[in-house]
Amino acid sequence: MGSFGERLQREREMRGITLEEIAEATKIGTRSLRALEAEEFDKLPGGVFNKGFVRAYSRYLGIDEEQAVADYLTAYGEAQAAAREQAADREQVTLAVLDEPPVPRPGLGVLLVILVIAGLGLGGWRYYAWRKSVAPAQATVHAQAQPSRPAAAKPSGGSVPSGGSAALPAAQPQPPAPAAGQAFTVTLRAREDAWVSITADGENVLRDILRASQEKTVQARQELVIQTGNAGALDLVFNGKPLAPAGDSRRVRTLTFTPQGLQSP
């Protein structure tokens, strides 16, 4: 009979149907369909979405949906059991390594003494280099702090020479303080059903199917990442400004936004 994924692929190939045709009809990305046939369940959204993918796939091929879902649950359970066994094996290996007595290392005290002496020597050399570099600056500051000599008395009947009065130095302008980071918003409007995953500043805020006519607005300060399996079905608005279409229908895309806007892929 073969595995769950092999049976799906065999049924599809017997009917001469491509993954692209199923993706066009079901609005499921070809990457997810290919992961379903390869039984790479960790690449799928998970939960009820996986069952929905299996039902839509089976319905398009004309095979028993309930039997396909049952086969999927069996394959998924076997995959989870295998993953748990591998994790248990890794844990046993780790515990065995931790239980081994530490190997004595002779000369550790001598090594520590050498490291301390080297650190003290490096610190002394850096202090000497710092003192040598700041000495000229200190001399300049000391010279500027000396009181200026009084100006010579103006001779009787004489005139003040041109340029004799010293102008005060102009105050240097201070650079403006950098502006604090401002939050930005991105609005998604679905014209068709589209699977969407949104991460704002490293935190996942949405992982669901955005139905036609639904709208979702998300705010972030540093980075906002949108993954979708149907880029052509979404209208995007950045800080109230509509953006150009993100791609064709049924195209899988990852869109990254920063305070400067949509970044080039």
Helix axis angle for 19-26 and 48-61, nearest 10°, is 110
Look up the pTM and report it.
Answer: 0.35
Can you read off the two tokens belonging to residue 162? 């041109």
Share of the chain above pLDDT 90, in %: 43
Query: 194 pLDDT exceeds 50?
Result: yes
Q: pLDDT tens digits for 140-165?
A: 544 555 555 544 444 444 444 444 44
Coil vs helix vs strand at 97: helix
Phi first, then psi, for residue 71 (nearest 5°) are -65, -40
Beta strand pairing call for 253-258 and 261-262: antiparallel
The contacts of residue 219 (CB under 8 Å, 6+ apart) are 183, 184, 185, 200
Mean pLDDT score, 123-127: 76
pLDDT for position 1: 47
Which residues, 6+ apart, have CB-to-CB distance to 225 below 8 Å? 198, 199, 254, 255, 256, 257
pLDDT at 229: 87
DSSP states along 137-201: HHHHHHHHHSPPPPPPPPPTT--PPTT-SPPPPPPPPPPPPPPPPPPEEEEEEESS-EEEEEEET
